[in-house]
Amino acid sequence: MAIGTNVVDRFSHWDPRNKRVAHGLGVIIASALVIPTMFIALRILIHAGYSSYIVLPFFLLVIPVIFLHELIHAAFQWLFGKQRPQLGFKFPFAFSKLRPNVSISRNQGIVSALSPFLLITSILILTALFVNPLSKVALIIVVYLHTPTCSGDFHFTSWLLRRPSNTRLRVEDMNTVVFYKQNTRFNQNPRPSRGL
């Protein structure tokens, strides 16, 4: 709990407005990337002599990538927050979040939010440059299926960029990130909040 009135803003991933924006962004990204990619992937496969049905199992490859995505969030949150973050699953999403007594800077939040997209995309695209056509198609499909799953991270990053650079992020409860002024002092032993 913050001492004084140093709260700058609050953000909840589960707020209906934020969910609509993130889901809408995901649909736009998916439409713009996945459909053309599937067309290109099928053309590459058919040209290489493969059946067009071989592309279907590649969709399953995105499942481990999503868990890797959350582990990358957790690694950066751990690096910046100096405490192991909480990992979990709230249907249909896996998540990683800071522990309630940990705060990080706005810029560290941006790095933490964008790092899975940047690392996974870079690694998969660089790997695709050196493999056979079938593996190349598989990696490109995974990149384009992973990108829409980052829509919440993109939305959160755009939210962070509109906040003052001297703010800090701190998790208030399961769903809410609170932004505080840089010099905010916190109670060391806040009373636990009562659930509904």
pLDDT at 189: 42
Q: Is residue 1 part of a domain?
A: no
Instruction: Report yes or no on 167 lying in a domain.
Output: yes
d(CA 43, CA 131): 17
- Burial class of residue 167 in the structure, from the number of CB atoms within 10 Å of its CB (0-12 exposed, 13-18 middle, 19+ buried): buried
AA identity, residue 33:
L
Q: Taking the alpha carbons of 16, 154, 135, 70 in that order, is the dihedral positive or negative? A: negative
Give me the number of domains the chain comprises. 1
Q: Average pLDDT over the chain, rounded to whole?
A: 75
**Domain annotation covers residue 76:** yes
Residue 144 has pLDDT above 70, yes or no: yes
Average confidence (pLDDT) over 178-196: 50
CA 195 remoteness from chain centre: 27
pLDDT at position 79: 95
Task: Tell me which residue of 152, 182, 186, 158 sits closest to 172, measured CA to CA.
Answer: 186
Q: Which residue has the higher pLDDT, 148 or 176?
A: 148
Of 44-48, 107-111, 179-183, the least confident: 179-183
The verdict on residue 190 lying in a domain is no
Q: How confident is the model at residue 192 (pLDDT cuts 50, 70, 90)?
A: very low
Domain for residue 189, yes or no? no
Domain that residue 54 falls in: 11-181
Considering the domain boundaries, does residue 62 fall inside one? yes
The distance of Cα 141 from the centroid of its chain, to the nearest Å, equals 18
Q: Helix (H, G, I), strand (E, B), or coil: what is residue 82?
A: coil
Q: Is residue 96 part of a domain?
A: yes
Does residue 186 surpass a pLDDT of 70? no
CB 44, CB 137: distance < 8 Å: yes
2 lies in a domain? no
In the block, which residue shows the tokens 């993109």? 154
pLDDT tens-place string over residues 49-94: 777 677 677 777 878 888 899 999 999 999 999 999 988 877 667 7
With a cut of 70, say whether residue 44 has pLDDT above it: yes
How confident is the model over 165-176, as a mean pLDDT?
A: 72
